[in-house]
Amino acid sequence: MQDFLDFKAISKGYPGVQALADVSFSVKKGAVHGLMGENGAGKSTLIRVLSGDQSADTGEIRIDGHLQHYRSVRDAFEAGVIVIHQELQLVPELTVAENLWLGRFPGKAGVIDRTRLVGVVKEKLADIGIDIDPTVKVAALSIGERQMVEIAKAVMADARVIALDEPTSSLSSRESEILFTLIDRLRAQGKVILYVSHRLDEIFRLCDSLTVLRDGKLAAHHPEIAKVTRDQIIAEMVGREISNIWGFRPRERGAIRLEVKDLSGRKLRTPISFNVRQGEILGFFGLIGAGRSEMARLVYGADSRAQGTVTVDGATVTPDSPPQSIRSGIVLCPEDRKFDGIVQGRNIEENMAISSRRHFSPFGLLQPKKEAELAERFIAKLRVRTPSRKQDIINLSGGNQQKVILGRWLSEQGVKVLIIDEPTRGIDVGAKSEIYEILYELAGQGMAIIVISSELPEVMGITDRIMVMCEGRVAADIERADFDERRILAAALPDVSNASELPNQQVQSR
Amino acid sequence: MTSLKKLLLGEQGLVVIFAVAFAIVALTVPNFLTERNMLGLLQSVVTIGIVACTMMFCLASRDFDLSVGSTVAFSGMVAVMASNASGSILIGLIAALICGGGVGLVNGVVIARFRINALITTLATMQIVRGLALIASDGRAVGINDPGFYQLALSKFLGIPTPIWVMIAFFIVFGFILNRTVFGKNTLAIGGNPEASRLAGVNVSNMRVWIFALQGLVCAVAGVLLASRITSGQPNAATGLELSVISACVLGGVSLAGGRAAMTGVIVGVLIMGIAENVMNLLNIQAFYQYVVRGLILLLAVLLDNLRSAAAGRRT
Ligand SMILES: Nc1ncnc2c1ncn2[C@@H]1O[C@H](COP(=O)(O)OP(=O)(O)OP(=O)(O)O)[C@@H](O)[C@H]1O
Ligand SMILES: [Mg+2]
């Protein structure tokens, strides 16, 4: 097989950052090519250049031997290149079929040919094995299903090159598996697929070849993935060896810090009760939609409670609102960084200090020096890749934005209970282990920590205890000594037949 | 070409445009660059300038206030009537501040607590408050009895009328609040992403109530100064003020989408509005045309805002 997609000496700079420097590699037809690297290494930038969204400063892209000259996404689209970004680009109020035809509806004189509209889509979806009704509105689909629709869009457009930027970061493992089957099928059809991910498992499961970027430069190119090892890739990415990314250390667990009793709200109807001890890291595992984030938001007071109480060190937290919770020592690092986390248009420093600055701002007067110092400390600690702390957060790469949001909460003082929802989504391996280290350190100081994660290895790797949630209820509560992958997964699955066998009697008998 | 574009759309672009416009006008329009005209110009933008200070906060937090014109007229009216009735200017002043602040508070509570759209809410209060001003005065202007009241506007310090000093003081104070206090940063944060700010522990609804209440108070100050300058409480004073103020802010780089604001920009925006009007007066352009020009300036301002954010190349 010949090289189909060629990058030659691609460079791209932003003010203060060389996002890509002289990157060259090529991908064969019918191959899934992985793209890995630390946060800010330039992966998304490379994909943006490929999709015509940004133009490279220098360098050439060739598809099937032909030099590409496109200047816009539209041009790239016409050349057969389609990118599926992490933030999906569908119109929620239109149906699946309408979304797939958007921009070129079939029909005459402006009147849409309904039968073709649905018929063709049905065929195409069946063709690639996607089981979604083309007449439902996109708003009614899960994130995983929407991703399928995005891919179907690429297939409908007869794309030759499809690039996916961290497609699985908000998918459940089951949805991811469906996505992988779909990608396998596209590979068999001879498409070229560029696949960006921070998850090594996926890379090994899917990819034929791999490129590792570091600081915008090509760190390694592996035409055959079978010839590399995980450790080798990690070393190429972060420039050092990481033997054990979890690095779990057992800790003393003290008295009960957080006590949640019969808490329920509009989106979490079944009352939920649990507690977390000093120095304990409690994991919440479950499928997407199991109610973990809703639980967290209720505890934090982000959503209003229907009933229930939250106590910290024996003192009841009232009224339930984020400022009150923060004052009582509960903080929440939210799941959706784009909508609930970053403050667009403001710089890193401001985004980090937004909450904790009240501790060092007498009479509401800012202390620029202290804010700068705080920002510099966490930029270094979390290894945020940025030219300066004054950089607008919107200009950071996805993972670096996440780090800044984490910094916001890790820098908060007087925290007794730290709840983090999907802490390492989109974060590279190196930074992940740093973050776990920080969590252990904080737990060691007596903080009670709740980690919500959809990544089973992560929950199993770093927590003392796991509560498994399923369809808005606690389905299991398992101590570290009894961690067992199969048992946890079984509890997470909303299967009625095995629900009765699971150790959730304590919940049902209430 | 591109460097010119960069200059015009960059951080200091507005200042450049202003300097150029000022130079052209100073050279071509007779009597423009005289001390008397300059003071007159500044006098004429006092109301806009003062109200723009808090409108900046309103816009920066992604809100909107259409009721400022009515509030200025109403509180000016109240000041005159209360001081006439009581014989004390101080009581008039306090009454005006209470009424202005009250209108702002109502706006804020309705918008932040009951979650009603700011556009609709302030459109409603704009009419209600104007109505109140007309009812209170029976639709007529109310003359000031105490000559001491005129002195507010007439008195001078270092040869510059007091209202101009007041405006300058407001610029400094609100510039400080925006850049150097938690309040200012939180305002910008709310505008950037209200939900993220709320989850970060910013008391968003309190902040919004405060911003509107402040806006009302500041309108009252502007109203009192205006009444003093026109020597009466006029129920029809300051009509269309909301548009001039918002234009000035947008012209000054305050983003209507929230999260972006700078005091220097707003000052320049205010001055541009003032210069446009002043020049039209000096050139004896009919008042009717002035509406057209004001509208055009607003359009230009929004267009510039758009170009500017496009040039900033914000990733979505
Ligand atoms: N519009 C922009 N302005 C300034 N800098 C930018 C801009 N876009 C990207 N960068 C910088 O370019 C570098 C590469 O970013 P890119 O988004 O490609 O990283 P990435 O490899 O996708 O990282 P992640 O794994 O976090 O998604 C980063 O340092 C980022 O801050
Ligand atoms: Mg990226």
Each residue's pLDDT tens digit, A338-370: 888 999 889 999 999 999 998 888 999 999 999
Give me chain A's average pLDDT, please: 87
Cα distance between residue B25 and residue A257, in whole Å: 69
Cα distance between residue A194 and residue A190, in whole Å: 13
pLDDT of amino acid B313: 53
Q: Which residues of A touch B201 (CB under 8 A)?
A: 322-323, 325-326, 331, 354-355
Amino acid occupying residue B175:
G
For the Cβ of A41 lying below 6 angstroms from any atom of ligand 1, the answer is yes
A3-241 and A252-329+414-488 have identical folds = yes
pLDDT of amino acid A508: 34
In tens, the pLDDT along B46-100 reads 999 999 999 999 999 999 899 999 999 999 999 999 998 888 889 999 999 999 9
Alpha-carbon distance values, A39 to A177, A249, B107, B248, B255 (Å) = 24, 26, 45, 41, 30
In which residue are the tokens 């109200």 written? B51
Give percent of chain A above pLDDT 90: 45
Q: Identify which of A17, A214, A425 to mutate to test ligand 1's pocket (most ligand atoms within 8 A of the CB).
A: A17
pLDDT of amino acid B312: 61
pLDDT of amino acid A500: 42
Size of interface A-B (CB pairs under 8 A): 84
The answer to whether the CB of B242 falls within 8 A of the CB of B126 is yes
Tell whether the torsion through CA atoms of A213, A217, A219 and A222 is positive or negative.
positive
Go through chain B and tell me how many residues it has. Answer: 316
For the Cβ of A396 lying below 6 angstroms from any atom of ligand 1, the answer is yes
Tokens encoding A388: 């300066």
- Judged by DSSP in three states, A239 sits in coil
Go through chain A and tell me how many residues it has. Answer: 510
- Residue B199 is nearest to which of A332, A344, A361, comparing CB atoms? A332
For chain B, give every domain's residue range.
35-239
In tens, the pLDDT along B215-273 reads 999 999 999 999 999 888 899 888 889 988 998 998 888 888 888 889 999 999 999 88
- CATH for the A252-329+414-488 domain, from 3.40.30.10, 3.20.20.150, 3.40.50.300, 3.30.428.10: 3.40.50.300
Please determine, for the modelled complex, whether the ipTM score is greater than 0.90.
no
In which residue are the tokens 């960006």 written? A196
B294 pLDDT above the threshold of 90 = no
Alpha-carbon distance values, A181 to A87, A98, A169, A397, A411 (Å) = 22, 25, 17, 28, 42
- Rounded mean pLDDT, B29-40: 88
Candidates A83, A85, A115; CA nearest to A97 is: A115
Cα distance between residue A296 and residue A377, in whole Å: 28
User: For the residues of B292-314, what is the DSSP string, one character each?
Assistant: HHHHHHHHHHHHHHHHHHHHHT-
- Taking the CB of residue B240, how many other CB atoms lie within 10 A of it? 10
pLDDT of amino acid A1: 54
Q: Residue A412's closest chain B neighbor by CA? A: B200
pLDDT of amino acid A87: 67
Q: Identify which of A14, A39, A198 to mutate to test ligand 1's pocket (most ligand atoms within 8 A of the CB).
A: A14
In tens, the pLDDT along A89-127 reads 788 888 888 888 887 777 777 787 888 888 888 888 887
A501 pLDDT above the threshold of 60 = no
Residue A319 preceded by cis peptide, ω within 30: yes
In this structure, what DSSP letter does residue A460 have?
Answer: H
Cα distance between residue A31 and residue A461, in whole Å: 33
For chain A, give every domain's residue range.
3-241, 252-329+414-488, 345-413
In tens, the pLDDT along A239-279 reads 877 777 888 888 889 999 999 999 998 888 899 999 999 99
B315 pLDDT above the threshold of 60 = no
- Rounded mean pLDDT, B276-291: 84
Question: Under CATH, what is the fold of the domain A3-241?
Answer: Rossmann fold (3.40.50)
A32 pLDDT above the threshold of 90 = yes
pLDDT of amino acid A499: 42
User: For the residues of B233-260, what is the DSSP string, one character each?
Assistant: E-TTTTTTHHHHHHHHHHHTT--TTSS-
In tens, the pLDDT along A440-456 reads 999 999 999 999 998 88
